[in-house]
């Protein structure tokens, strides 16, 4: 009897690994070290893991706006505009705006963007956005000389053959550094905390929302009941499984004896996540420079505050335009030189408008009304 009792006790003790390893799937974020140089994979994972970061970058790319090129010669302007509209940029995409969008997105995400002008004979054929994995920047003979290198067949980085065809731009590089600073710098730490909260919420809802039960059979004091405790427990488990089948009919569970049924996790309290998530999102939005209302965040803001945030974003977009304009000018100049056209040109960006249609219509109405009043005053002055 002692051996049977010890066997029952031994088999009833089961490990419950409810605190097992369940990390979120974005390992580059969880293994990020603030003292190590982040790589491109980290920033790619950051955009994929936190949708609000990816949405902010996409918003900046779209709000950058379009531009037009004007030349001193009408024929040169027509040829240049046609080239910028139909230039091949890889895949099924065409036009310099598609190239600039990818270039700008790379510029924001990694802090460094590299492209290339593909020339065939004496004609500029296409524009190419380079993968940063295949490109390396190094110092030349002096600190002001930057050499762009690419991998050869043996995987060794060697200087490119035609550096004058390379397009490169870096964002806020640190002193003595060649590579730029990503817009996402400083976000891996807070984003990792945010993902831990989201992952924990998912696990808690999986445990609590999908109700699981603990069925406990307690043998009575008599020896016979204790002797067959294991068999009765197995019988109770079998009948409970049949009663809880998903695809089967609804059944009642009937048991004889002292049987206790509890919902696992029903006594636990899920931690409040609204406040910490809001605090982390505020840090992310502040870093990205996008007004919250553009991201669908209904935070309490006054009309004046929204207007000020729009003005700040306008200045940010103008800064990015100044960073990208040298790339556009280099492409246009290369096309004109290879086409044998020698003329001055200028890049004119479209106006940045972040107001709604009602405000724009009201502004246009006031402008037209003021012009009418000024013209009437001028006519009366000429008549006197």
Please state whether the predicted TM-score (pTM) of the whole model is above 0.85: no
* Per-residue pLDDT reduced to its tens digit, 234-291: 877 777 777 777 666 666 667 767 777 777 666 666 677 788 888 899 999 889 888 8
Does 33 have pLDDT greater than 60? no
Residue 26 pLDDT exceeds 70: no
Among residues 326, 289, 346, the alpha carbon closest in space to that of 100 is found at 326
What pLDDT is stored for residue 320 in this prediction?
93
Average pLDDT for 10-33: 51
CB 119 within 8 A of CB 338: yes
- What is the enclosing helix (H) or strand (E) of 317? helix 303-338
- 3-state secondary structure at position 246: coil
> What mean pLDDT comes out for the span 197-203?
82
Most confident of 35-39, 134-138, 142-146, 353-357: 134-138
**Range from 22-26, 311-315, 350-354 carrying the lowest mean pLDDT:** 22-26
Residue 187 neighbours by CB distance under 10 Å:
23
The strand pairing partners of 218, in sequence order, are 258
Other C-beta atoms lying within 10 Å of the C-beta of residue 205: 11
Cα 202 versus chain centre, distance? 21
Contact by Cβ (8 Å): 210, 266 = no
Looking at residue 127, its pLDDT comes to 94
pLDDT digits (tens, 9 = 90+) for 85-140: 999 998 788 999 999 999 999 999 999 999 999 998 888 999 999 988 888 888 88
| pLDDT digits 0-9 by tens, 213-236 | 777 777 777 776 667 677 777 877
Structure tokens at 187: 């976000």
Mean pLDDT of the chain: 79
Minimum mean pLDDT range among 3-12, 43-52, 192-201, 373-382 = 3-12
pLDDT of 20 = 45
pLDDT digits (tens, 9 = 90+) for 293-306: 788 887 765 555 56
Residue 30: how many other CB atoms lie within 10 Å: 14
Of 56, 79, 61, the closest CA to residue 69 belongs to 79
Give the mean model confidence (pLDDT) for residues 167-187. Answer: 89
What is the share, in percent, of the chain residues with pLDDT greater than 70? 76
Query: CA angle, corner 287, sides to 281 and 289, nearest 5?
Result: 100
User: To which residue do tokens 């006031």 refer?
Assistant: 366
- For residue 331, which of 345, 351, 352 has the smallest C-alpha distance? 345
109 near 38, Cβ under 8 Å?
A: no
CA neighbor of 215 nearest in space, from 248, 242, 250, 192: 242
Across 18-37, average pLDDT? 55
Nearest to 37 by CA among 167, 174, 193: 174
Alpha carbons 36 and 164: distance in angstroms, whole number: 33
Q: Is residue 346 helix, strand or coil?
A: strand
Position with higher pLDDT, 292 vs 212: 292
């Amino acid at each position: 009897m002692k051996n049977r009792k010890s066997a029952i006790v031994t088999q009833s003790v089961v490990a419950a690994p409810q605190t097992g390893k369940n990390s979120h799937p974005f390992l580059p974020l969880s293994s990020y070290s603030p003292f190590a140089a982040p790589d491109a994979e980290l920033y790619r994972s950051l955009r994929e893991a936190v949708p609000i970061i990816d949405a902010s970058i996409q918003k900046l790319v779209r709000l950058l706006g379009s531009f037009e090129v004007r030349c001193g010669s009408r024929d040169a302007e027509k040829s240049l505009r046609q080239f910028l509209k139909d230039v091949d940029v890889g895949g099924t995409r065409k036009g310099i705006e598609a190239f600039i969008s990818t270039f700008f997105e790379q510029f924001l995400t990694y802090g460094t963007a590299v492209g290339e002008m593909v020339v065939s004979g004496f004609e500029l054929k296409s524009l190419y956005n380079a993968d940063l994995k295949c490109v390396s920047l190094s110092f030349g003979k002096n600190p002001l000389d930057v050499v762009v290198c690419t991998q050869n067949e043996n995987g060794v980085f060697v200087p490119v053959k035609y550096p004058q065809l390379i397009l490169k731009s870096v964002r806020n590089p640190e002193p003595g550094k060649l590579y730029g600073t990503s817009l996402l710098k400083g976000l891996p730490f807070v984003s990792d905390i945010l993902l831990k909260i989201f992952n924990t919420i998912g696990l808690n809802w999986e445990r609590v929302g999908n109700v699981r039960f603990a069925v406990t059979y307690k043998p009575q004091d008599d020896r016979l009941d204790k002797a067959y405790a294991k068999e009765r427990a197995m019988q109770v488990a079998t009948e409970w499984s049949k009663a809880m089948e998903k695809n089967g009919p609804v059944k009642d569970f009937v048991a004889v004896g002292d049987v206790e049924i509890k919902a696992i996790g029903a006594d636990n309290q899920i931690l409040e996540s609204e406040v910490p998530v809001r605090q982390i999102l505020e840090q992310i939005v502040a870093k990205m420079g996008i007004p919250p209302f553009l991201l669908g965040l209904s935070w309490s803001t006054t009309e004046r505050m929204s207007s000020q945030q729009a003005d700040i974003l306008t200045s940010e977009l103008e800064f990015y335009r100044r960073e990208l304009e040298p790339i556009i000018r280099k492409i246009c100049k290369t096309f004109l030189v290879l086409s044998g056209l020698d003329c001055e040109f200028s890049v004119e960006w479209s106006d940045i408008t972040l107001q709604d249609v009602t405000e724009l219509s009201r502004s246009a109405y006031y402008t037209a009304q003021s012009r009418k009043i000024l013209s009437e005053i001028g006519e009366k002055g000429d008549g006197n």
